[in-house]
């Protein structure tokens, strides 16, 4: 039943966007919703941070936000475990980010592009905000003994996330050993160990 409604709504959205153009610098209708949202987004509920890095990112997708389609913005909640919960170095290939700390104390940073690779870093307390420019490598580290929570807004409806260590050492299939040993100036065994830890097993 739900699927049926989806199909109808979906057909309408294709109709709307098939007449659209990348040249028009605005959405081409008020909004384009597939199914009406009834589930709560639940961004107030603490997430489980009992994993290797001690953090948990909840990115809201189109099933949870009515009207998200075609509008170029999205939202995430991030939970950090006490004493070093880490949102590890990553990039968003298609979005700038604003981070707002709701609870706890975070050390946040991003690295500028070549040749400077300057680290811009700041300690944030509740109510502080920080902007991460489009496509730059950034991270957040919980530097206090309590949980931390932040909200991030991103300037795309599908910003994408690339966790550096996972993409480099855990890709599927794995990246050639010669690339990684030379790029990171590591021995073959060191790279193989890293690949094992990140799930990219080189034969």
User: Which residues ranging from 100 to 159 are in contact with a second copy (CB under 8 A)?
Assistant: 100-102, 107, 109, 111-114, 116-122, 125-137, 139, 141, 151, 153-158
Strands 106-111 and 86-91, by their bridges, are unpaired
Residues between 159 and 188 that touch a second copy (CB under 8 A): 160-176, 178-179, 182-186
Residues between 30 and 59 that touch a second copy (CB under 8 A): 30-32, 34, 40-45, 52-54
**Which residues touch 33 (CB under 8 Å, ≥6 apart)?**
9, 66, 67, 69
Identified binder of a second copy from the candidate list 8, 20, 63, 201, rule CB under 8 A: 20
Strands 74-80 and 148-154, by their bridges, are antiparallel
Radius of gyration for the chain, computed over Cα atoms and rounded to the nearest angstrom: 20
Give which of 11, 1, 15 is closest to 34, Cα–Cα.
Answer: 11
Tell me the site size for a second copy, rule CB under 8 A: 121
Q: How far is the CB of 35 from a second copy (least distance, A)?
A: 12
Residues between 62 and 91 that touch a second copy (CB under 8 A): 62, 64-75, 84, 86, 88-89, 91
Q: How far is 1 from 88, CA to CA, in rounded Å?
A: 41
Cβ proximity to a second copy, 1 vs 65, nearer residue: 65
Identified binder of a second copy from the candidate list 10, 47, 82, 202, rule CB under 8 A: 10
Residue 98 parent element (H or E): strand 97-103
**Sign of torsion, CA 124 126 127 129?**
positive
Residue 97 counted as an annotated binding residue: yes
Tokens 């990112």 appear where? 57
Residue 117 counted as an annotated binding residue: no
* Angle between helix 177-184 and helix 188-197 axes, rounded to 10 deg: 110
Say what the alpha-carbon torsion angle 173, 179, 183, 186 is, to the nearest 10 degrees: 90
Q: How far is the CB of 73 from a second copy (least distance, A)?
A: 5
Q: How far is the CB of 112 from a second copy (least distance, A)?
A: 5
Q: How far is the CB of 1 from a second copy (least distance, A)?
A: 21
Residue 5 counted as an annotated binding residue: no
Binding-site annotation, residues for oxalate: 87, 92, 97
Binding-site annotation, residues for Mn(2+): 90, 92, 97, 138
Binding-site annotation, residues: 87, 90, 92, 97, 138
């Amino acid at each position: 039943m739900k699927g049926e409604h989806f199909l109808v709504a979906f057909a309408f959205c294709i109709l709307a966007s098939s007449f659209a153009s990348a040249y028009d610098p605005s959405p081409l209708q008020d909004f384009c919703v597939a199914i009406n949202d009834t589930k709560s987004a639940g961004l107030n509920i603490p997430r489980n941070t009992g994993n290797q890095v001690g953090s948990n990112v909840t990115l809201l997708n189109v099933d949870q936000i009515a009207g998200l389609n075609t509008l170029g913005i999205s939202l995430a909640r991030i939970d950090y475990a006490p004493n070093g919960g880490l949102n590890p170095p990553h990039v968003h290939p298609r979005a700038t980010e604003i981070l707002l700390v709701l609870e706890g104390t975070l050390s946040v940073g991003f690295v500028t592009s070549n040749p400077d690779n300057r680290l811009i870093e700041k300690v944030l307390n509740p109510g502080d905000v920080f902007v991460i420019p489009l496509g730059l490598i950034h991270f957040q580290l919980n530097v206090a003994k309590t949980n931390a929570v932040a909200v991030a807004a991103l300037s795309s409806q599908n910003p994408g996330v690339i966790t550096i260590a996972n993409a480099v050492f855990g890709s599927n299939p794995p990246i050639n050993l010669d690339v990684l040993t030379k790029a990171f100036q590591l021995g073959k065994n060191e790279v193989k160990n890293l690949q094992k830890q990140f799930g990219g097993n080189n034969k």
